[in-house]
Amino acid sequence: MDPEGQARYASTVTDLDPSRRPLQAMLPEELALAVEIDIADARRIISLGHRTGALPERSPATIRRSALDAVRARFAIPSLTIAERRESREDPFVKYAFQLADGAVVETVRIPLEKAGRYSVCVSSQVGCALACAFCATGKMGLARNLEAWEIIEQVRVVRAGIPAPGRVHGVLFQGMGEPMANLDRVIQAIRVLGEPCAQAIDMRNITVCTAGLPAGIRRLYREIPAVRLGVSLGAVVPGRRRALMPIDGAHPLEDVLAAAGEHARATRHSPMFAYTLLAGVNDADEDAAALADLARTFGEQHGATPRLSLIPYNAIGPGDVFARSARLDAFRAVLRARGVGTIVRYSGGSDVGAACGQLSRPGGGGKASALAADAGSKRAASAVTATKSALPGA
Ligand code: SF4
């Protein structure tokens, strides 16, 4: 392994138990180096671990006994406890709440794709989130901690294990709890393992990392894993309105984020996905649509990659919610269409189980902790929306 690879390995190994590291976060070359075994054995052991979630005491015929013993002495396959698994009554979405070893809970969503039996998994990358976007339930929690690479991978492995054959996980979306660019060492390691043929074998072109806008992370993403796609949450594009919805805009203005997204597009030849959550009376006016169309067209002209515009109908995030779903979706799209810009409307299912976009927080939705978090967050959201509205002409 090259020095860069060794440094990456060192930085992503969990410190939960130095003598028994989680096998899920290992690439075969890292495992072979760590326990000095043949790379072919390392691949077979990793494959076994990802398929079964266990390391057997007796060695299968295809794996050398000494290699398996060496791995068993240094590695384990910890899992996540399924605290809750809720199937939507409205559609085939499934929301999982996973309890971690320290008691924290993160949420994951199994998203059915158009082709029967194919799924995307929307994973969490942090417990909570520090970025405090006003329209997001997770943003109300604050940041508790980063997830380890194995905890991210395990969300996919457990969801996959619950899919009846011949169904499969087709793609992964980093759009659950947390800002993935703020935990990028572990997110990148998780993506390498998810794409590794002997581990989860997911085509990296079907993995999308969505950010609220951290330019340095976007640049690192295309330099280190150029096959992976980029999503950017816009919030609002009329000057002055975005910052009230997404405080991160104060540190990294949208123009800086778009410059980094343009570099990503040129380097990877992937068009970015721009997500825009429509909020009634906040960012859904014709003026907002016209500004969004101009932004998309300008981005395409400057970077040679037309962004895919994904409009997301707002989903309620609990008591004290200061936002409402916009009734102007069709009118908004019409303004964009008249300016030659196409959109897709994100079907954001599972809202009855809190699995829809922006709704991920803590399980139950009505528990004391959730209610407190929602209440504390609603104050921030209220001041954000007030600021947003005061930025609107004539407000
Ligand atoms: S939208 Fe994403 S970045 Fe913003 S608060 Fe929610 S989880 Fe964090």
Q: Give one DSSP letter per residue of 185-237, joined into a string.
A: HHHHHHHHHHH-TTTT---GGGEEEEES--HHHHHHHHHH-TTSEEEEE-S--
**Whether pLDDT at 197 is above 60:** yes
**Whether pLDDT at 62 is above 70:** yes
Model pTM score: 0.85
pLDDT at 17: 55
pLDDT single digits (tens) 11-41 = 333 344 556 899 999 999 999 999 999 999 9
Ligand 1: centre distance to CA 211 (Å): 8
What φ, ψ does residue 75 adopt, rounded to 5°? -130, 155
For ligand 1, whether the C-beta of 213 sits within 6 Å is: no
**Set 30, 107, 154, 179: catalytic member:** 107
pLDDT single digits (tens) 367-381 = 222 222 222 233 233
pLDDT at 394: 25
Class of domain 81-390: alpha beta
Going by the DSSP 8-state scheme, the letter that residue 393 receives in this structure is T
Residue with tokens 């794409």: 195
Phi-psi label, residue 49: left if phi above 0, alpha if psi -120 to 50, beta otherwise: alpha
**Whether pLDDT at 245 is above 50:** yes
> Which of 123, 136, 245 maximizes ligand 1 atoms within 8 Å of its Cβ, making it the mutation to test the pocket?
136
How confident is residue 1, by pLDDT bands cut at 50, 70 and 90?
A: very low
**Whether pLDDT at 146 is above 50:** yes
pLDDT at 317: 78
CA atoms of 32 and 29, how far apart (whole Å): 5
Ligand 1: centre distance to CA 125 (Å): 11
pLDDT at 291: 97
For ligand 1, whether the C-beta of 132 sits within 6 Å is: yes
pLDDT at 59: 87
pLDDT at 18: 57
How confident is residue 355, by pLDDT bands cut at 50, 70 and 90?
A: low
CA atoms of 22 and 202, how far apart (whole Å): 20
Q: Provide, rounded to the nearest whole percent, the portion of the chain with pLDDT above 90.
A: 75
pLDDT single digits (tens) 41-61 = 999 999 999 999 999 989 899
* 287 classed as catalytic: no
HSE-up of 256 (CA within 13 Å, CB side)?
12
Ligand 1: centre distance to CA 261 (Å): 18
Q: Closest Cα to residue 244, out of 395, 393, 386, 394?
A: 386
> Which of 131, 173, 362 maximizes ligand 1 atoms within 8 Å of its Cβ, making it the mutation to test the pocket?
131
pLDDT at 377: 31
pLDDT (average), residues 244-271: 97
**Whether pLDDT at 364 is above 60:** no
Distance of CA 293 to the CA centre of its chain: 26
For ligand 1, whether the C-beta of 129 sits within 6 Å is: yes
Q: Closest Cα to residue 200, out of 31, 328, 333, 47?
A: 47
pLDDT (average), residues 292-300: 97
Residue with tokens 């810009």: 341
How confident is residue 357, by pLDDT bands cut at 50, 70 and 90?
A: low
Ligand 1: centre distance to CA 160 (Å): 25
pLDDT at 319: 75
Of 114-118, 156-160, 192-196, 284-288, least confident by mean pLDDT is 114-118
**Whether pLDDT at 322 is above 60:** yes
For ligand 1, whether the C-beta of 262 sits within 6 Å is: no
CA atoms of 88 and 356, how far apart (whole Å): 10
For ligand 1, whether the C-beta of 384 sits within 6 Å is: no
Pairing state of beta strands 94-99 and 105-112?
antiparallel
Where exactly are the structural domains of the chain?
Answer: 3-76, 81-390
Ligand 1: centre distance to CA 148 (Å): 18
CA atoms of 193 and 168, how far apart (whole Å): 17
pLDDT at 12: 37
How confident is residue 239, by pLDDT bands cut at 50, 70 and 90?
A: confident
Ligand 1: centre distance to CA 128 (Å): 9
pLDDT single digits (tens) 274-285 = 999 999 999 999
pLDDT (average), residues 242-258: 96
For ligand 1, whether the C-beta of 381 sits within 6 Å is: no
Of 41-50, 53-62, 166-175, 349-358, least confident by mean pLDDT is 349-358
* 90 classed as catalytic: no
**Whether pLDDT at 205 is above 60:** yes
**Whether pLDDT at 165 is above 70:** yes
